[in-house]
Amino acid sequence: MSKNRIGICLIGAGRAGMIHAINFRKNVPGAHLVAIADPAREAREAASARLDVDICYSDYREAFENKDIDAFVVVVPTGLHRRIVTDCAEAGKHILCEKPMAMTEEECLDMIAVTEKNKVKLQIGFMRRFDAGFRRAKEIVDSGAIGDVVMVRSNTRGPSIPQPWMYDISKSNGPLAEVNSHDIDTLRWFTGSEFKTVYAVGGNYRSPDAKADWPDFYDNVIVSATFENGCQGIIDGAQGVRYAYDARTEVLGTTGCVYIGRLQEESVVTCTAEKQSGSYDLVKSWRQLFEPAYLLEDISFLNSIAGDTVPEVTGHDGLMAVKVVNAGNTSIREKRIVTL
């Protein structure tokens, strides 16, 4: 692409959408945030004011007429991803789509097919792949410093209670999708292999209000997995833990182990006469922990458009994670090991 600046339209000005929008508005070289699309007037107007962007659409399809827009960033509830990504691709626009890629394998395959047919980029929002710590760990593992990878263990535990729409697993795919998609992608990345079997157990420990209407809902989940290359994997996920945003990963090899992530917000520990055990603040949110990773992810998306290269995280990566989410939910429901 020979244009000086690549025009971006945000679809979905919610929590994660605003992170991308701020990046494209201020911090991604070569990007021009042209417009915002969101049917919720309040969200649209607040985003327009905060970002100083005048062009707003209540229906994202109106943006297809705008010749200044080259790419869309799709940050809407997951159930809408397939429809919106398909429409953007058919309009000949590049797409950065948040995780989880979609609800089902069939939806993901549709999205891959339509983007390939229209020769547009499709990148999926696994921003941990751009995080400095995760990247450094990958280099160490790939250098052979811990021998051969034997097991990858990854947890994501979020502080906030689930949104009401998440209680219906048939609509949300549950915490395995919303919370643990990142861990699933991390295990694929560090094992260099695909999931072969999963056994998952879920339970509702912190959401008593959901129990009567949504008996299948779980807010705590553990997964044990095997991989095609013989590696082992463990994931745990939780919502509503309150204490912190707790995302940590370990890669255990034949001769060593790499630990990624931290619970502590900063490296400073305060010890006083009153508090002899010392104290420090804990990481409060994914927004703060992965802020630099979102920026690098957005820069990478722009570079793949500008340089006409394959995105660093592809539709295939999104598809494989969705397959594992659904296998995990089947395992929880049917209380058995599921082979992928």
172-191 residues in contact with ligand NAD (CB under 6 A) are 178
Verify binding: residue 332, ligand NAD, rule CB under 6 A: no
Give the whole-angstrom CA distance, residue 19 versus residue 292: 10
Q: Return the half-sphere exposure (C-beta side, CA atoms, 13 A cut-off) of residue 87.
A: 15
115-134 residues in contact with ligand NAD (CB under 6 A) are 125, 127
258: left (phi over 0), alpha (psi -120 to 50) or beta: beta
Return the structure tokens found at 224: 């044990």
The residue among 60 and 167 lying less far from ligand NAD, judged by its C-beta, is 60
Among 28, 56, 60, 210, binds ligand NAD (CB under 6 A): 60
The residue among 252 and 289 lying less far from ligand NAD, judged by its C-beta, is 289
Contacts of 62 (CB under 8 A, 6+ apart): 37
Contacts of 212 (CB under 8 A, 6+ apart): none
Count residues binding ligand NAD (CB under 6 A).
24
Verify binding: residue 12, ligand NAD, rule CB under 6 A: yes
The residue among 96 and 151 lying less far from ligand NAD, judged by its C-beta, is 96
- Of 36-44, 154-162, 240-248, 258-266, the segment contacting ligand NAD by CB under 6 A is 36-44
Among 235, 286, 293, 325, binds ligand NAD (CB under 6 A): 286
* CB neighbours of residue 152 within 10 Å: 27
Verify binding: residue 171, ligand NAD, rule CB under 6 A: no
Q: Minimal distance in Å, beta carbon 39 to ligand NAD?
A: 5
The 76-115 contact track toward ligand NAD, x by CB under 6 A, reads xxx-x-----------------xx----------------
The residue among 95 and 151 lying less far from ligand NAD, judged by its C-beta, is 95
Q: Minimal distance in Å, beta carbon 181 to ligand NAD?
A: 8
Verify binding: residue 16, ligand NAD, rule CB under 6 A: yes
Return the structure tokens found at 84: 């919106």
Q: Minimal distance in Å, beta carbon 144 to ligand NAD?
A: 30
- Of 37-45, 189-197, 246-254, 321-329, the segment contacting ligand NAD by CB under 6 A is 37-45
Contacts of 124 (CB under 8 A, 6+ apart): 97, 98, 99, 101, 311, 313, 314, 315, 317, 318
230: left (phi over 0), alpha (psi -120 to 50) or beta: left
Instruction: Determine contact, residues 189/164, Cβ cutoff 8 Å.
Output: no
- For ligand NAD, the nearest residue by Cβ is 14
Q: Minimal distance in Å, beta carbon 186 to ligand NAD?
A: 12
The residue among 37 and 137 lying less far from ligand NAD, judged by its C-beta, is 37
Among 9, 28, 75, 179, binds ligand NAD (CB under 6 A): 75
The residue among 70 and 98 lying less far from ligand NAD, judged by its C-beta, is 98
Give the whole-angstrom CA distance, residue 33 versus residue 184: 31
Verify binding: residue 72, ligand NAD, rule CB under 6 A: no
For residue 123, the one-letter residue type is: Q
The residue among 38 and 183 lying less far from ligand NAD, judged by its C-beta, is 38
Contacts of 111 (CB under 8 A, 6+ apart): 81, 82, 85, 86, 89, 97, 101, 102, 122, 315, 318
Applying CB under 6 A, the residues found at the interface with ligand NAD are 11-17, 37-40, 43, 60, 75-78, 80, 98-99, 125, 127, 178, 286
